[in-house]
Structure 1
Amino acid sequence: MAGVVRRLVMGVVAVVAAGALCVPSAVAADSPGYWYVDDTGVRDAWAQGVTGEGVKVAVVDDQAVSDYPGFAGVKTEYKAEIVHGNSCTADDSYQEIKVQGKRTMTKTDSDRKAGDGGIYTTHGTNMMAFIVGNGQGYDGNPGVLGSAPKASVVFYAKGFPTPGLMEGGIPVPCIDEDKDSLSNSFSIQQAAKAGARIVSMSMSGNSAEIPYLMYAVRHGVIMVTPRGNDPVEGTRDLVGKPETINEFPGQVVVNMVDRDGNIDRSTDVMDGNVVVLSPGVDVLRYGDTGDKEPKVSGGGTSSATAILSGYLALVLSRWPEATGNQVLQSLIRNTKGNDSGEAKLDPEHRRGFGEVDLRRLLEVDPTQYPDINPILQWQVETSEKHEETRGMYTSHADWKDYSYGQTDPFDGDDGEWPISVPKEAELVGQELDRQVKAWKKVEQCRADGGSDCMRYSATNTADEADKSTPLPDTGYTRGGRTYGTLPSWFGWAVGGGVGAAMLVAGGVVLAVVLAKRRRSRGRHGGPGNSGPGVPPVPPVPPMPPMTGRPGVNAPAVPGRLSQGPTVPSPYGGGAYAG
């Protein structure tokens, strides 16, 4: 698309000094619903030729309307990752919802056209438009505006849209010839294989197929997901949930803020897994599938997720040599109001590491940071500091394949179920170990005066690491490697006052409840203190002890997780996130 002049908003274009580069026009500036573009430095980035060009973003959601006017000129692909056969069909029995319009998808034909079944927009259409939308809508009306209009998109349909209001809706699954619904996790892995640098998934759900998601983590793909649009409190610390598709270790879990940086009251609660705050309140969006004219409304954490994904596409466009892990390092170290250069977690666990600051992300070169996913590192190490979650990500070599355990709930946590831990959660700790060791090799290479030292980094050695990592149906033989020893991160993970006496040679595992209990969330919808710094990579001093924690209700055998029932790893479901 470079060098091609396109008319994007109201037929007006903005030509910048970089050449015949077109972005949404200033004609739409200062519109109330576009504040997430006007107030954040997006238009300044466009004026400097930073538009997301060269960055591929994957969106996983219900079907998108491919001929929505706001997608004119956008480079897009529409796919359905069908495991069994070449097509899938809407499940009529699903919650007694009747699908309107298109009922079948194929691997390369997953989109729908405007007006099919009376549907002009969908949740997925909204989310994609927040990333690449040009601001045009139907019948000359303004539309949803994206911040990275020159990024390319590969769209993976999860299911069919629910007719009517999108708030609170659930996509109707598309069932393949083996009666399986489409897998979010598999779509994410395929997006990573297709070259996506960012995966934006504004949906919530329970089941996460760990090896598929670990493929994306291993290859430095930035996964952005929302917290729920509800006042339900989350975990009491940033430990991740290895079997939850939108709280998986290493992901950016997003909450929404308004123009003044305030969290929307519907989601202003303690939630330890929130990583970053992003604009999502009072934005221009469509609220009903039949709408042809958008309105300024709450937006939800879904919108905040897509908006953040657009920002990160700009950052990757600005800093093309940076890995996804390095961009994540910059994201959490350079939030609004944090001038320290180090990540600081809100001790009240409401604001995560703070509100995204796009201007600083575009100014600060992320290649100075380690190629280590800092969210993954924080979650794995923090889980070892709590008796309830200790051992979640260490070796489960003594478990049978596809077995589960559960942690204890955090002490005093009336709203949160125990965390379900599959055997494959050990892959999370192994990946952090790999990333830390790889970065030490980069640093040693540089200290020795070597050149091209980044070839040793975790992202650049991911293809080699793939050879020793299984997919869900290949068991646990991994190239002859031994998993009964402690990973290198463990020594400094337990350094903050938690002893190592709970370790059992060959595998440290889960806490007391064997029955799987998981809370399902609905569609996602809606400021800041700083706490201890992000767990640094040696030789930087280790992460300081966590503060402000309630007392610990230790299980009968502290730090142990007991193996749960042997069950197959399920495919993911999910609801929209707002």
Structure 2
Amino acid sequence: MLAALVSLALPPSGVPTAVADDAITHQDYADMLGLKDLHAKGYTGKGVTIAYVEDKPDLSTPELQGANIEVREACPFQSVPETISHSTTVASILANKDWGWAPEAKIINYRVPTEGTKEIPEENCKSRLSESNKVYAQINRALSDGVDIISLSIASPIEESIAPAIARAAQMGVPVIAGADNTVGDTNRSFGNLNTVAAVGYTNLEGKRAETSSRGKHVTIMAPGEGIAERIPDSSGNLTKLGKGAGTSYSTPMVAGLLALGKQKWPNASGNQLLRSLINTANNNGQGWNEEYGWGLIDPVKFLTEDPTSLEDTNPLWEKIPGALPNQQTLADYQDGLTDPVTLIGDSSYVYRGVDDTIVTNYPDISEYATSPRYHKK
């Protein structure tokens, strides 16, 4: 799967050369949504942990100075400048002190190889396609580490093996936010096609859906994603040029960051309640859900005004795509200890309780043969 992992950003446009020390100090979307006012009121994401899964950012860039960012990887690999550039923009949208959504949150980059990255032979990694480096393994690690929100600005053809990790996140009340992809029609490569995952489309600064923002049953919410100032590589691979980027790659961390502000204000609210509030407070001109805008454009002020703690504490997106994974059976199998542990690498809490001798042989340390509650239900 990771061989096909790609970013959800469109190619940059308008690329003037810039000196590396020139910081990006302004983003139009921050003005559009009043981020400075929110920060001035103390909404900064303090005390909240956001995980984002993709290649590593360049922590030396001016935009990330002072940000609380940690990189965690399962196995080292060699990056390419384009993937570092993309990750740096995503991290900056989350954590930049001037225009990041949650500048005082803790940001953890769970690193995975994306398109173009290579193995480092001397590191003795089996392969950059190895199970330990897959997206679901990093999601499971993030959940085991106790993160509050998970953000995915990458895309790949969906494999069934990711479903248990996503179901686990829903059970734990940890929102998973993913880009809806950048195609004219519906798409099947966005992680937003998974049930329980909030798929984010993108708009221009007037709140109109961008032509390339995917539409379909998977779309949940919208956020700005055009005209994003970003650092891109020069001929030497250093991030010394500035360009303008667009795509659901960049609307996705905006939604994750907004959820972090909500979690800060209402620490007792579950991720499920915050997701419900995000949907309830979105602006779609009273039209309800549709395939172009989902539930509508995020409304930060309204979201941070309405207390979510009285809302139902279940994920509101279990049935957004009938027949898709994960489903309630996925969750039941996980809860009953009947999921194959190969899809739960990084889950430090899981115990296999089934009767598959091969699985028990392969995973003796986390197996308790035939103890699943399903076998003992009356």
1:18-29 equivalence runs, <5 A: none
- SS of 2:138 mapped into structure 1: helix
Are positions 1:365 and 2:307 aligned together? yes
Q: Rg: which structure is higher?
A: 1
| Aligned residues of 1:335 and 1:356 also touching (Cα < 8 A) | yes
Residue 250 of structure 1 is matched in structure 2 by: 196
1:178 to 112, 118, 126: 126
Which one of the candidate residues 87, 102, 106 is aligned to 1:152? 106
Q: Secondary structure at the match of 2:177?
A: strand
Q: How many Å separate the matches in 2 of 1:483 and 1:428?
A: 19
Structure 2 Cα separation of the partners of residues 482 and 330 of structure 1: 38
Deviation at 1:484, TM superposition (A): 11
Query: By how many angstroms is 1:429 displaced?
Result: 6.0
Whether the 8 Å CA contact 1:202–1:226 is kept in 2: the answer is yes
The answer on 1:344 being equivalent to 2:288 is yes
Structure 2: state its 5+ residue gaps.
1-22, 343-351, 356-370
Q: Say whether residues 1:325 and 2:272 are aligned partners.
A: yes
- C-alpha separation in 2, matches of 1:37 and 1:335: 17
Deviation at 1:173, TM superposition (A): 5.3
CA distance in 2, matches of 1:484, 1:352: 40
User: Could you tell me which of 145, 166, 179 is aligned with 1:226?
Assistant: 179
Q: Residue 121 of structure 1: CA displacement?
A: 4.9
Aligned mates of 2:184, 2:216 — CA distance in 1? 10
Do the aligned residues in 1 keep the contact of 2:180 with 2:219 (CA within 8 Å)? yes
Q: What is the letter of the counterpart of residue 341 of structure 2? A: P
Measure, in 2, the Cα distance between the counterparts of 1:119 and 1:245: 21
How far apart in 1 are the matches of 2:240 and 2:329? 46
Residue correspondence of structure 1 range 175-574 to structure 2 within 5 A: 177-179=125-127, 180-181=129-130, 182-206=133-157, 207=159, 208-234=161-187, 245-267=191-213, 270-288=215-233, 290-295=238-243, 297-337=244-284, 344-346=288-290, 349-376=291-318, 378-379=319-320, 383=322, 389=323, 427-428=329-330, 430=332, 468=337, 470-473=339-342, 474=352, 476=354, 479-481=372-374
Q: Does 1:122 align with 2:62?
A: no
Deviation readout 1:96-138 (Å, 9 max, x if unpaired): xxx66xxxxxxxxxxxxxxxxx789521111111100124xxx
Distance 2:140 2:166 in 1: 6
Q: 1:427 to 1:178 in 2, by over 3 A?
A: farther
Give the residue type in structure 1 aligned to 2:239.
D
More helix by share: 2
CA distance in 1, matches of 2:232, 2:203: 19
Shift of 1:149: 0.4
In 1, distance between residues paired with 2:288 and 2:112? 35
Change (3 A) 1:251 1:41: same
Summarize deviations over 1:146-178 as a string: whole Å, max 9, x none: 111001111111126xxxxxxxxx242558633
Letter in 2 for 1:201: L
Letter in 2 for 1:194: D
Q: Could you state the TM-score of these two structures normalised by the residue count of structure 2?
A: 0.75
- Cα distance, 1:344–1:469 mapped onto 2, change above 3 Å: farther
Instruction: Name the residue aligned to 2:37.
Output: 44
TM-aligned CA deviation for residue 290 of structure 1:
3.6
Partners in 1 of 2:117 and 2:329 — Cα distance? 31
Give the corresponding residue for 1:413.
none
CA 119–188 in structure 1, closer or farther in 2 if over 3 Å, else same: closer
User: How far is the alpha carbon of 1:71 from its aligned partner?
Assistant: 2.0
1:273, distance to aligned residue in structure 2 (A): 0.5
Task: Report the aligned-residue RMSD.
Answer: 3.2
How many residue pairs end up in the alignment? 321
The SS at the match of 2:202 is strand
Q: 1:64 to 1:471 in 2, by over 3 A?
A: farther
Distance 1:429-1:470 versus aligned 2 partners, 3 A rule: closer
Q: Quick one: structure 1 residues 466 and 190, their matched pair in 2 at CA, closer, same or farther if it must change by over 3 Å?
A: farther
Give deviations 1:163-220, integer Å, cap 9, x for gaps: xxxxxxx242558633343111110111111121111110001234222222222111
Cα gap change, 1:247 to 1:484, in 2 (>3 Å): farther
Q: Which has the higher contact order (CA 8 A, sep 6+)?
A: 2
1:285 maps to amino acid: E
Aligned to 1:67: 60
Q: CA deviation at 1:74?
A: 2.0
Query: Residue 117 of structure 2 aligns to which amino acid in structure 1?
Result: V
